[in-house]
Copies of this chain bind each other. A is one copy, B any other.
Amino acid sequence: MSTLRDVQTPALVLDRARLDANLETMRRRADALDTPLRPHFKTAKSIDVFARALEPGEGATVSTLAEAEQLFAAGLDDILYAVGIAPGKLERAAALRAQGCDLILTVDSVEAAQAVAAYGATAGAPIPAVIEIDADDHRAGLAPKSADAVAVAKILAQSDGARFSGVMTHAGGSYECETTDAIAAMAERERAAVVETAAHLEAEGVPARIVSVGSTPTLTFAKSLDGVTEARVGVYMFQDLVMAGLGCCSVDDIALSVLVSVIGRQRGRGWVLTDGGWMALSRDKGRAPGAPDFGYGLVCDADGAPLAGHAVISANQEHGIIARIDGGEIDFDAFEIGAQLRILPNHACATAAQHAHYHVVENGQDVIAEWPRENHW
């Protein structure tokens, strides 16, 4: 068995015990809410992670058609592509369906629904789609219970080339909530947006089979998902500093880190330089509202134990600069040239995306597997 000492830095590290604990925690939440999960592939982009995350009979959510193709090749055939479809992708989506994958698309406009229906009619094989509902004025989607939603549902339901599968929403606004109570309220807003729209559509003669919500914060703090048929969550598998800042987990739950090596010390400036720049950490400096600025991530020792007050305050492509953000002084003797450290990510999706595979560890240092990531489109 190899250890992290043998791994070339920078490298992506995944703690298997933490991953499994995170999966279990969310599974218990879903059970308590009596709502099946439709886990999102976009964070992990790893068949190996997904094999642990998925219960038999569960479907998957994807953010790209490449993810759908990978999951289908791995044997999964119930997949929701939860990003509004671009008509130029319909041929590729239809090809997946023709191979036996029950791929469901997402639309939030008359134009997109018409494009789906037209393509399916030409191909002679109807394409199912859900309608995206906008729960939080955050990004995409039609207004809940709107005439637009009815119009789009009817286009899908009544054309030969499409099928109406239901409604979905994503409360990305939950990332901006300042309290867990606010997240719970956002969860209710998310639930109500799709459940009320589904009822409205049913009254209009277009019943929704799928009533889908999803975000790690809202599922973590939702009080009820009555009427919801599935919850889409992704980042819970790894967790990250944003999730910890929102109260969705503790820092000790974060399963993902970037292994780096010390390459220099600038004693006069209180800096330790590493080979973990933004290419390894990502450029994501996102943080939860009111959370401290951890720069490009919090610093841990090689075993993954946090070094209090140490953060990556600056990053170039292949250089990271570590300094104290708590007013303390760096103990340079603890950062020998060549010493390994681990950096906890602000945003697991972004940091993981910078890497081609995970080094899976147990007991801090033991590398038990390498799991490939499938990036790109």
* Chain A residues close to B by CB (< 8 Å): 5, 8-11, 42, 63-65, 83-89, 92, 108-109, 111-112, 115, 134, 137, 139-140, 172, 261-266, 269, 273, 275, 278-280, 282-285, 314, 316-319, 321, 336-338, 340, 349-350, 353-356, 375-377
* CB contact under 8 A between A89 and B8, given known A319-B83, A319-B139: yes
- How many copies the complex holds: the figure is 2
Q: Is the CB of A266 within 8 A of B140?
A: yes
Q: How far is the CB of A309 from chain B (nearest CB, A)?
A: 21
CA–CA, A279 and B41, complex, Å: 14
Q: How far is the CB of A271 from chain B (nearest CB, A)?
A: 8
CA–CA, A375 and B12, complex, Å: 14
Q: A263's closest neighbor in chain B, by CB?
A: B84
Which 5 pairs, one residue from A and one from B, show the smallest C-beta to C-beta distance?
Answer: A283-B283, A86-B261, A84-B263, A87-B338, A111-B337
20 example contacts (A-B, Cβ-Cβ < 8 A) are as follows: A9-B88, A9-B89, A42-B318, A63-B317, A63-B318, A64-B318, A83-B318, A86-B261, A86-B275, A86-B337, A88-B261, A108-B264, A109-B264, A111-B336, A139-B314, A139-B321, A140-B264, A278-B284, A283-B283, A353-B354
Q: Is the CB of B264 within 8 A of A338?
A: no
Residue from the list B321, B349, B376 in contact with A317, Cβ < 8 A:
B349
Q: Is the CB of A86 within 8 A of B350?
A: no
Q: Which residues of chain B are within 8 angstroms of A88 by Cβ–Cβ distance?
A: 5, 8-9, 261, 338, 340
